[in-house]
Amino acid sequence: MEENVRLWKNFTGVYELDGHLATCNLTPGLRVYGEKIVEYDDRELRLWDPRRSKLAAAILNGLEIFPFHKDSKILYLGASTGTTPSHLSDITPDGLIYCVEFSPRMMRNLVDLSQLRGNLIPLLDDATKPHNYLHMVEKVDVLYSDVAQPKQSELFMDNMRLFLKEEGIGILMLKARSIDVTRNPKEVFQEEESKLKTNGFRVLEKIDLEPYEKDHMAFICEFGF
Ligand SMILES: C[S@@+](CC[C@H](N)C(=O)[O-])C[C@H]1O[C@@H](n2cnc3c(N)ncnc32)[C@H](O)[C@@H]1O
């Protein structure tokens, strides 16, 4: 490995290259969203843009809990065209990522991407109706939710209850302005956090995503029993 490339903390599959985050490209030579590719040894690193991916923003802002491993099973809500799922796909070459997205337009790109990346499973469905895909998704190690809509916390909790393993971790990327555009985001975050707690979830970590994303907070959660 080149001298200026090193692992980020003890995070599986996450590299640091001159202050940038990167993951090791599972499909060498292919870009997903125009990201820069850097060669090292006989492999390729894809730079991970924190302005395009909230997970990268959370990592750069000090995230300590990184629950992803090479063989993790992940349920990803709001997969869009696959920017962040593609980096998770690099990180979990022996795992599976169930990608729920309800926009047919986004899904077209996601289907193309999953034909190249065998660990991505695209599901055209509505994350507010998890029973729709109950028969297609197994219990997962990590639930990742990035669905900007008013009932973000509720749909996150519903999916957690149905799909997360007992010892699993949930990551909720909360956008305050999608819950109420008129209210102070700090109040919204507090209210959503107490909703999580009242419903039996423990919040292990909170990461503000500024300056990469305005009025967004990452909540890292587990079951509270
Ligand atoms: C902020 S984008 C996700 C970006 C993506 N997570 C990434 O980092 O690459 C939010 C996505 O959620 C999708 N979405 C919104 N409501 C949804 C729902 N109820 N079910 C499934 N997908 C939904 C939108 O179509 C959009 O593609």
pLDDT score for 40 = 85
Q: Are residues 201 and 94 in the same domain?
A: yes
Residues above pLDDT 70, as percent of the chain: 99
Tell me the backbone φ, ψ of residue 170, rounded to 5 degrees.
-110, 140
Report which secondary-structure segment, H or E, holds 151: none
For residue range 180-191, what is the model confidence (pLDDT) as tens digits?
Answer: 899 999 999 999
Residue 225 has pLDDT above 80, yes or no: no
- Choose the residue to mutate in 98, 111, 146 for probing ligand 1, maximizing ligand atoms within 8 Å of C-beta: 146
Q: Are residues 38 and 137 in the same domain?
A: no
H/E/C letters for each residue in the chain?
Answer: CCCCEEECCCCCCCEEECCEEEEECCCCCCCCCCCCEEEECCEEEEEECCCCCHHHHHHHCCCCCCCCCCCCEEEEECCCCCHHHHHHHHHCCCCEEEEEECCHHHHHHHHHHHHHCCCEEEEECCCCCHHHHCCCCCCEEEEEECCCCCCHHHHHHHHHHHHEEEEEEEEEEEEHHHHCCCCCHHHHHHHHHHHHHHCCEEEEEEEECCCCCCCEEEEEEEECC
pLDDT score for 83 = 98
Q: Are residues 172 and 219 in the same domain?
A: yes
Residue 1 has pLDDT above 80, yes or no: no
For residue range 125-147, what is the model confidence (pLDDT) as tens digits?
Answer: 999 999 999 999 999 999 999 99
Q: Are residues 85 and 188 in the same domain?
A: yes
Q: How far is the CA of 5 from the centre of ligand 1 (A)?
A: 32
Our answer on whether the CB atom of 83 is closer than 6 Å to any ligand 1 atom is yes
Residue 8 has pLDDT above 80, yes or no: yes
Q: Are residues 94 and 19 in the same domain?
A: no
Our answer on whether the CB atom of 178 is closer than 6 Å to any ligand 1 atom is no
Q: Kindly report whether the global pTM for this prediction surpasses the value 0.95.
A: yes
Q: Are residues 182 and 197 in the same domain?
A: yes
For residue range 87-100, what is the model confidence (pLDDT) as tens digits?
Answer: 999 999 999 999 99
Q: Are residues 30 and 109 in the same domain?
A: no
Select from 48, 68, 83 the last residue of a domain: 48
Q: Are residues 95 and 109 in the same domain?
A: yes
Residue 224 has pLDDT above 90, yes or no: no
Name the residue range of residue 202's domain: 54-223
Q: Are residues 10 and 64 in the same domain?
A: no
Our answer on whether the CB atom of 109 is closer than 6 Å to any ligand 1 atom is no
pLDDT score for 164 = 98
List the one residue out of 104, 100, 108, 111 whose CA is nearest residue 143. Answer: 100
Q: Are residues 129 and 74 in the same domain?
A: yes
Residue 42 has pLDDT above 90, yes or no: no
Q: What domain count does the chain have?
A: 2
Pairing of strands 140-145, 73-77: parallel
For residue range 142-171, what is the model confidence (pLDDT) as tens digits?
Answer: 999 999 899 999 999 999 999 999 999 999
Our answer on whether the CB atom of 188 is closer than 6 Å to any ligand 1 atom is no
Where residue 2 falls among pLDDT bands split at 50, 70, 90?
A: low
Our answer on whether the CB atom of 91 is closer than 6 Å to any ligand 1 atom is no
Where residue 72 falls among pLDDT bands split at 50, 70, 90?
A: very high
Q: Are residues 87 and 195 in the same domain?
A: yes
Our answer on whether the CB atom of 33 is closer than 6 Å to any ligand 1 atom is no
Q: Are residues 132 and 189 in the same domain?
A: yes
Q: What is the CATH number of the domain that holds 20?
A: 3.30.200.20
Q: How far is the CA of 3 from the centre of ligand 1 (A)?
A: 37
For atom 15 of ligand 1, the residue with the nearest CA is: 147
The mean predicted confidence, pLDDT, of the chain is 96
Where residue 3 falls among pLDDT bands split at 50, 70, 90?
A: low
Q: What is the CATH number of the domain that holds 195?
A: 3.40.50.150
Q: How far is the CA of 146 from the centre of ligand 1 (A)?
A: 6
